[in-house]
């Protein structure tokens, strides 16, 4: 289960939100573009965390949902001339449906088989879109509008307004998913991730929970797709491709799965690094790969894992200090126990 108001997590989420808002106000044009991209990836990565971090289902096909969301919005607005709220609803419905179907189809798959199954569904979507002349094939679809919010006095064509909106939406997704995961539903998902057989023995069928989690995760990814389409005002099949899914997974892992805020941090870090590194070398993949390997090597708990360790160390040091100050005082003990063990990546996937 995820403790929604864990102080460290809340602090980090608030810091990210404030940094985003500050950056949207003060950054230059390119910085705001990058910020909007970070927010889109953060939402996709948080959606993925719902599967990878809790029931420990490693999806390599999240591009499918992102792509369906993006194309759903793009087709409805650019080709059919729908209004933007209707288009968003359609896109979310389609990605939820896709999540439901993939969830049902993969309900028995475990470990490597789950990875392969999601990969296969994602690639099927990719091939289908690339071959579809109506969807613009490999060239994609242009002319995707951003919502018209002039009535509220907002101009989403302005990059600062748009980036601010996306940062706020990412925060909203964080709160919604946090709420969901802090519930009994979230507890069951974690239990499934730890030992599916035991969950079954307790008389709970894991199937419906897995399907529900995939549906929610797919919808969130679809929402990220809608925002990606608005951001670029353009959609292309690369959203479906497995390397794209791999990149989102990378962000989630680097940030630290199972913490919700970690993947958002990972998304921001990877997007930033990508632009920073590609400023002086064209071999960006070299660094991405290196970071991935280092992340796994150093325990696999991602950036958030480091922060937790740092907190634990600080608490230990502080309490030792306190204990030294006031011998016999029990506060140190309580504080120490409050650092609960969180299984990292290393324990994942075995079953």
Partner 1 sequence: MRKRYLAVATAALLAGTTAVAAREYKVGLLLPYSGVYAALGKEIQAGFELGLEHYAAELGEDTIRLLPEDTEVKPAVGLTKAKKLVLQDKVDVLAGLVSSGVLAAVRDFVDGAKVPLVVANAGNIHATGKQCSRYIIRVSFSNAQITRPMGRYMAERGLKTVVAMAPDYAAGRQDVEAMRGAFEAAGGKVLKEIYTPFRKTKDFGPYLTEAQATGAEALFVFYAGGEAISFMKQYASFGLKDKLPLYAAGFLTSQLYRNAIGEAALGSINSLHYVTTLDNPENARFQQAFQQKYGRVASEFAVQGYDAARLIVAALAASKGDKEKFVDAARTTTFASPRGPWRIDPATNNIVQNIYVYQIVQGPDGRLVEKVLKVYENEQDPPNGCQLAG
Partner 2 sequence: MTAAYWLTQLLNALQYSMLLFVLSVGLTVVFGLMNFVNLAHGTFYALGAFIGWSLLRATGSFWLALVGAPLLVAAIAAVLYGAMIARMQRAGHLAQVLATLGLVFMGVEVMRIIWGDFALDFAAPPLLQGHVQLFGLVYPAYRLFVIALGLLAMVALWLLLERTALGAMVRAAVDHADMAAALGVRVDRLFFGMFCFGCALAALAGVVAAPIFSVYPGMGIEILIPTLIVVVVGGLGSLKGAVAGSLLVGFVDTFGQVLLPQLAGIVVYALLALTLLLRPQGLFPARA
Q: Which residues bind partner 2 (CB under 8 A)?
A: 52, 56, 58, 60, 105-106, 108-113, 115-117, 119-121, 123-124, 127-128, 131, 242-243, 246, 249-250, 253, 283-286, 288-293, 295-297, 300, 345-350
Residue 295's binding partner among partner 1, partner 2, none (Cβ under 5 to 8 angstroms by kind) is partner 2
Nearer to partner 1, 23 or 209 (CB): 23
Q: Does 228 bind partner 1 (CB under 8 A)?
A: yes
Q: Does 148 bind partner 1 (CB under 8 A)?
A: no
Residue 139's binding partner among partner 1, partner 2, none (Cβ under 5 to 8 angstroms by kind) is partner 1
- Which of 243, 242, 236 shows the shortest CA–CA distance to 137? 236
Q: Does 33 bind partner 1 (CB under 8 A)?
A: yes
User: Alpha-carbon distance 263 to 266, whole Å?
Assistant: 5
Nearer to partner 2, 132 or 338 (CB): 132
- Which of 257, 252, 213, 175 shows the shortest CA–CA distance to 4? 175
Instruction: Provide the mask over 169-198, with x wherever binding to partner 1 is found by CB under 8 A and - wherever it is not.
Output: ------------------------------
Among 22, 138, 176, 333, binds partner 1 (CB under 8 A): 138
Tokens of 7: 């102080």
Among 5, 153, 281, 330, binds partner 1 (CB under 8 A): 281
Among 81, 85, 133, 341, binds partner 1 (CB under 8 A): 133
Nearer to partner 1, 130 or 189 (CB): 130
CB of 323 to partner 1, least distance (A): 54
Residue 331's binding partner among partner 1, partner 2, none (Cβ under 5 to 8 angstroms by kind) is none
3-state SS string over the chain? Answer: CCCCCCHHHHHHHHHHHHHHHHHHHHCCHHHHHHHHHHHHHHHHHHHHHHHHCCCCCCCCCCHHHHHHHHHHHHHHHHHCCCCHHHHHHHHHHHHHHHHHHHHHHCCCCCHHHHHHHHHHHHHHHHHHHHHCCCCCHHHCEECCCCCCCHHHCCCCCCHHHHHHHHHHHHHHHHHHHHHHHCCHHHHHHHHHHHCHHHHHHCCCCHHHHHHHHHHHHHHHHHHHHHHHHHHHCEECHHHHCHHHHHHHHHHHHHHCCCCCHHHHHHHHHHHHHHHHHHCCCCCHHHHHHHHHHHHHHCCCCHHHHHHHHHHHHHHHHHHHHHHHHCCCCCHHHHHHHCCCCCCCHHHCCCC
Nearer to partner 2, 20 or 266 (CB): 266
Among 83, 195, 278, 338, binds partner 1 (CB under 8 A): 278
Q: Does 326 bind partner 1 (CB under 8 A)?
A: no
Q: Does 280 bind partner 1 (CB under 8 A)?
A: yes
Nearer to partner 1, 111 or 238 (CB): 238
Q: Does 136 bind partner 1 (CB under 8 A)?
A: yes
- Which of 302, 287, 312 shows the shortest CA–CA distance to 346? 302
Residue 134's binding partner among partner 1, partner 2, none (Cβ under 5 to 8 angstroms by kind) is none
Residue 59's binding partner among partner 1, partner 2, none (Cβ under 5 to 8 angstroms by kind) is none
Q: Does 72 bind partner 1 (CB under 8 A)?
A: no
Query: Locate tokens 């479906």: which residue?
Result: 240
Nearer to partner 2, 49 or 230 (CB): 49
Query: How many Å separate Cα 21 from the centre of its chain?
Result: 19
Binding residues for partner 1, rule: CB under 8 A, are 28-30, 33-34, 37, 127, 130-131, 133, 136-140, 142-143, 159, 228, 232-234, 236, 238, 278-284
């Amino acid at each position: 289960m995820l403790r929604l108001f864990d102080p460290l997590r809340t602090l980090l989420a608030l810091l990210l939100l404030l940094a985003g808002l500050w950056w949207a106000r003060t950054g230059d044009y390119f910085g705001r573009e990058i910020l909007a991209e970070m927010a889109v990836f953060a939402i996709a990565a948080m959606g993925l965390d719902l599967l990878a971090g809790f029931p420990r289902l490693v999806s390599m096909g999240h591009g499918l949902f992102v792509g369906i969301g993006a194309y759903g919005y793009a087709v409805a607005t650019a080709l059919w001339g729908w209004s933007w709220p209707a288009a968003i609803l359609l896109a979310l419905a389609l990605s939820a449906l896709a999540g439901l179907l993939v969830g049902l189809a993969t309900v028995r798959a475990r470990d490597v088989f789950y990875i392969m199954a999601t990969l296969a569904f994602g690639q099927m979507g990719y091939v289908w879109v690339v071959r579809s002349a109506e969807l613009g094939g490999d060239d994609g679809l242009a002319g995707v509008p951003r919502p018209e919010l002039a009535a509220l006095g907002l101009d989403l064509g302005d990059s600062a307004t748009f980036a601010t909106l996306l940062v706020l939406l990412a925060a909203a997704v964080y709160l919604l998913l946090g709420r969901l995961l802090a519930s009994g539903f979230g507890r069951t998902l974690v239990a499934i991730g730890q030992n599916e057989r035991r969950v079954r023995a307790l008389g709970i069928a894991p199937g419906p929970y897995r399907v529900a989690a995939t549906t929610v995760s797919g919808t969130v990814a679809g929402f990220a797709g809608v925002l990606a389409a608005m951001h670029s005002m353009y959609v292309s099949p690369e959203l479906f491709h497995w390397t794209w899914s791999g990149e989102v997974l990378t962000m989630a892992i680097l940030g630290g799965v199972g913490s919700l805020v970690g993947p958002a941090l990972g998304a921001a870090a990877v997007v930033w690094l990508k632009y920073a590194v590609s400023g002086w070398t064209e071999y960006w993949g070299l660094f991405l790969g290196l970071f991935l390997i280092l992340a796994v090597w150093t325990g696999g708990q991602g950036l958030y894992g480091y922060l937790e360790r740092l907190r634990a160390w600080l608490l230990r040091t502080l309490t030792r200090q306190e204990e030294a100050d006031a011998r016999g005082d029990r506060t140190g003990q309580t504080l120490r126990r409050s650092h609960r063990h969180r299984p990292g990546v290393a324990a994942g996937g075995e079953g």
